[in-house]
């Protein structure tokens, strides 16, 4: 009789017994006749159930190499054997962990003393000690002598050395004072935003001096990702009076005279009664919180929502528009996963350059911290974000099965060809999903409360808990999609429609929507990404995605036959199949969640429009902001379609402040509405052009106010949160926060254009990304301005709404036929006045031109 206990090197264990022996037999035999228990073997296997895919079976030699130690119990005693290879892997794993801890410790020190540096410390010490010794001048006024007296004299420390140590301590203290002074001055400098109001290309002497001072007080050394965090100013709290004034100004074009008068009365009553008390509490919060908005925004807007996060919150990013580097699914996965892990390594080492405006003004980097090893955990009342400091594996989903794949071997990151090898093993595995396993992730796509109940009731014990931990603590989640998606130039509408919807929701059960992001690799090698929204905003994941696309196609590349460069590893342990025991009751809950998610997904209509007739190059020649031009065109198109204006949301960022996230730009302004009416009434070219410039300038002003902490909606939101804590209702705040955003828009910025040589290789253009509609009767519009001659639009709405209708989901702007007009009108003519005719033409007489 043999008793075998299996211990997996990745932390998963299982026990197997001979067919004719159960646990009670073993227990009885071990007590009555020890000689019966012939052997006890401890072995390590890559799979918990000892199954590998047919193309890469686990041989006994491979299993033996993974054995950390083995002992045999017999009547003659215990025979202990050690595996040097397995112990080596344990040693290398521990060494990797300690290296990572040391790097984080070093980066913490470097960030803590920035803008100071080791050379700066040496310079201060040399200057102080030299002046005291040679110039006979004591800058510390005897302080170093007093400190030196507390250092005991011994055979190692003489009286002279005692004085020198005191001098070193005083010099170090002086260095610290200099650091805090520079940091305080830099924080004060970064609180000034007057430079933002100047026209592009024309900088006043005041701004030039300011930029020079910022560079000086930013230090001479190269900053790491988090160097400027303690130097960034806190988000300022605007006055209630200013917020009320800007709010009433924003709703004036949306309300008739009677409605506006009522709103004025509500605002006035709120400002005189409840607002001062709520504002006092907010001022109190600003004294101890670095950002008075972000924590409440994350909790109440994202984590406390009980609706599905699929479509409603999560967003997506697409592959290259024109380029497909390889059509081998495993190869594309190998390069892409490796590129992501390289980015994570740079992130862990804080080697990513902080983003800066004007190459000088730093932006907050706090959102990067939870990019990897992060999962949203469902709760009954509110969700939480779980982030672990390190994770050495990913989880891969393929045809209803979950696989845990280690990203490290032999103390190093797997190479692209080795990752490709692991993916090939998964693709060749023909095993069937376990009961309930295939559609388990539908729980993450449905309502949050049933998911929280199912998780607590059925997935917190035994093998389910181990497998769920593997998923939630993975670096990220990978889906090997068995469909083919790609932009088809011969059928762009349908192909991009299917591509976008697949990334937004997939089959509703083949993405783990709670993970910080899901990497999707399609059967034909196309890739995409689905990201959860609570932990960070889209520009953060966009920064990662730009790195991935450039590293995959440009830096790593592929062989002539489409595979990753390098050779596969002969002894690389294979993927580990995760084990589940899903009871029938849980399977019923999975089916219910899938039904809810499927109805939500089926109701989404989407169109992705790559507009290539012209881009920001032509618009900027007309001395108009590209973003303002697009937003004005949106308003004109919407008015043509609906005959009225609507509350419009454009996302802006507040990352000029510490822990800043977003603010709302209410882009439907009175100036924009005046221009739209002039277009509709066919006013003169001169008047339309004048109104267009006024509308564009107003939009830029609103955007600057939002970026500098003088927005409207985040302040009102925080006042509302305080009112709920105090249990004091405000009719004004309730009305404001219940207004639907029927046009929700967002621009995805291209943050690292230097990674793509778009001048010589224009084919490497990004398709950008998109999101679902915010209002049931509204549109979600995302756009990315790429290079000089491309604007990609992602437009979504709900099929069930008669106000939007799927056929008019082509909403807005100059999508088709603009090429016919732009080919006849030069940039000079547009700048001279016919730019407005372009908007008139492309928006059509009835609304959106299509």
Q: Which of 96, 247, 143, 52 is nearest to 669 (CA)?
A: 247
Cα–Cα dist 227/621, whole Å: 37
- Identify the CA nearest to 171 among candidates 130, 201, 212: 130
Single out the catalytic residue among 533, 543, 547, 715.
Answer: 533
Distances in Å between the Cα of 248 and the Cα atoms of 255, 630, 671, 674, 709 are 10, 24, 14, 17, 18
Going by the DSSP 8-state scheme, the letter that residue 236 receives in this structure is P
How large is the greatest C-alpha to C-alpha distance in the chain, in angstroms?
106
DSSP label of 815: -
- Total residue count of the chain as it appears in this document: 850
What's the rounded Cα separation, in Å, for the pair 444 and 28?
A: 46
Query: What gap in Å lies between CA 245 and CA 500, rounded to an integer?
Result: 40
Report d(CA 243, CA 82) in Å as an integer.
Answer: 71
Q: Tell me whether residue 533 is one of the annotated catalytic residues.
A: yes
Rg value, the chain, Cα: 31
Q: Are 310 and 451 in contact (CB under 8 A)?
A: no
Quote the CA–CA distance of 808 and 656 in Å, as a whole number.
Answer: 38
Count of CB atoms situated within 10 Å of the CB of 714: 25
Give, for 73, the enclosing helix (H) or strand (E).
strand 69-74
Q: Alpha carbon of 238 to those of 278, 438, 652: distances in Å?
A: 13, 51, 17
**Separation between Cα atoms, residue 281 and residue 276, nearest integer Å:** 9
**Is the alpha carbon torsion for 639, 242, 703, 739 positive or negative?**
negative
Q: Are 442 and 593 in contact (CB under 8 A)?
A: yes
Cβ partners under 8 Å of residue 210, min gap 6? 189, 192, 194, 195
Q: Which residues are catalytic?
A: 533
């Amino acid at each position: 009789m043999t008793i075998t206990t299996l211990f997996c090197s990745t932390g998963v264990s299982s026990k197997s017994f001979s067919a004719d022996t159960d646990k009670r037999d073993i227990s009885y035999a071990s007590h009555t006749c020890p000689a019966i228990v012939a052997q006890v073997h401890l072995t390590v296997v890559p799979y918990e159930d000892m199954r590998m895919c047919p193309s890469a079976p686990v041989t006994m030699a491979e299993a033996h190499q993974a054995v950390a130690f083995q002992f045999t119990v017999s009547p003659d005693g215990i025979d202990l054997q050690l595996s040097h290879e397995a112990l080596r892997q344990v040693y290398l794993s521990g060494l990797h962990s300690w290296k990572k801890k040391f790097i984080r410790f070093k980066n913490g020190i470097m960030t803590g003393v920035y803008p100071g540096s080791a050379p700066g410390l040496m310079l201060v010490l040399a200057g102080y000690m030299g002046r005291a010794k040679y110039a006979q001048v004591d800058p510390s006024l005897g302080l170093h002598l007093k400190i030196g007296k507390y250092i005991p004299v011994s055979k190692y420390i003489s009286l002279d050395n005692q004085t020198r140590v005191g001098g070193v301590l005083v010099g170090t203290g002086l260095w610290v004072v200099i650091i805090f002074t520079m940091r305080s001055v830099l924080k004060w400098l970064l609180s000034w935003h007057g430079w933002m109001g100047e026209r592009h290309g024309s900088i006043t002497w005041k701004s030039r001096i300011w930029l020079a001072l910022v560079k000086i007080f930013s230090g001479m050394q190269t900053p790491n990702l988090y160097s400027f965090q303690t130097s960034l100013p806190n988000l300022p709290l605007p006055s209630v009076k200013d917020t009320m004034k800007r709010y009433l100004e924003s709703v004036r074009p949306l309300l008739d005279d009677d409605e506006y008068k009522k709103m004025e009365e509500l605002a006035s009553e709120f400002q005189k009664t409840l607002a001062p008390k709520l504002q006092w509490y907010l001022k109190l919060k600003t004294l101890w919180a670095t950002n008075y908005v972000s924590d409440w925004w994350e909790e109440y807007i994202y984590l406390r929502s009980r609706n599905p996060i699929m479509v409603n919150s999560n967003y997506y990013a697409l592959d290259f528009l024109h380029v497909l580097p390889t059509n081998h699914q495993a190869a594309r996965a190998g390069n892409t996963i490796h590129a992501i892990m390289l980015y994570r390594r740079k992130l862990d080492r804080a080697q990513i350059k902080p983003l800066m405006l004007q190459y000088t003004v730093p932006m907050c980097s706090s959102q990067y911290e939870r990019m990897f090893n992060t999962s949203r955990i469902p709760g009954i009342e509110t969700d939480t974000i779980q982030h672990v400091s390190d994770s050495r594996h990913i989880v891969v989903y393929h045809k209803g099965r979950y696989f845990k794949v280690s990203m490290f071997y032999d103390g190093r990151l797997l190479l692209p060809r080795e990752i490709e090898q692991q993916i090939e093993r998964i693709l060749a595995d023909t095993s069937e999903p376990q009961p309930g396993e295939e559609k388990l992730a539908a729980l993450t796509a449905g309502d949050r409360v049933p998911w929280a109940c199912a998780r607590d009731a059925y997935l917190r014990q035994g093998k389910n808990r181990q497998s769920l931990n593997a998923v939630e603590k993975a670096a990220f989640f990978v889906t090997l999609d068995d469909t083919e998606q790609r932009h088809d130039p011969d059928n762009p509408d349908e192909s991009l429609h299917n591509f976008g919807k697949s990334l937004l929701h997939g089959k509703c059960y083949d993405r783990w929507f709670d993970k910080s992001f899901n990497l999707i690799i399609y059967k034909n090698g196309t890739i995409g990404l689905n990201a959860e929204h609570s932990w960070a905003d889209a520009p953060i994941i966009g920064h990662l995605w730009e790195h991935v696309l450039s590293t995959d196609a440009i830096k790593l590349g592929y062989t002539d036959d489409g595979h990753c460069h390098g050779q596969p590893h002969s002894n690389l342990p294979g993927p580990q199949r995760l084990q589940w025991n899903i009871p029938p009751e849980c399977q019923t809950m999975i089916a219910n969640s899938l039904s809810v998610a499927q109805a939500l997904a089926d109701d989404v209509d989407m169109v992705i429009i790559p507009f290539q007739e012209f881009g920001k190059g032509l618009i900027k020649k007309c001395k108009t902001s590209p973003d303002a031009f697009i937003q004005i065109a949106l308003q004109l198109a919407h008015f043509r379609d609906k005959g009225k204006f609507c509350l419009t949301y454009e996302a802006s960022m507040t990352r000029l402040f510490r822990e800043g996230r977003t603010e709302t730009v209410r882009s439907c302004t009175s100036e924009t509405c005046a221009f739209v009416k002039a277009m509709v009434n066919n006013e003169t070219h001169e008047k339309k052009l004048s109104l267009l410039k006024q509308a564009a300038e107003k939009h830029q002003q609103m955007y600057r106010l939002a970026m500098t902490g003088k927005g409207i909606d985040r302040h009102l939101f925080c006042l509302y949160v305080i009112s709920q804590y105090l249990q004091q209702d405000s009719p004004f705040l309730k009305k404001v926060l219940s207004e639907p955003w029927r046009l929700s828009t967002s621009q995805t910025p291209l943050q690292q254009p230097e990674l793509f040589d778009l001048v010589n290789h224009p084919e490497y253009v990004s398709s950008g990304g998109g999101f679902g509609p915010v209002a049931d009767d509204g549109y979600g519009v995302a756009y990315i301005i790429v290079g000089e001659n491309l604007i990609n639009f992602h437009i979504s709405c709900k099929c069930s709404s008669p106000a939007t209708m799927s056929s008019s989901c082509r909403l807005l702007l100059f999508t088709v036929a603009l090429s016919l007009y732009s080919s006849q009108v030069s940039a000079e003519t547009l700048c001279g006045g016919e730019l407005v005719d372009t908007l008139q033409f492309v928006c059509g007489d009835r609304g959106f031109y299509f």
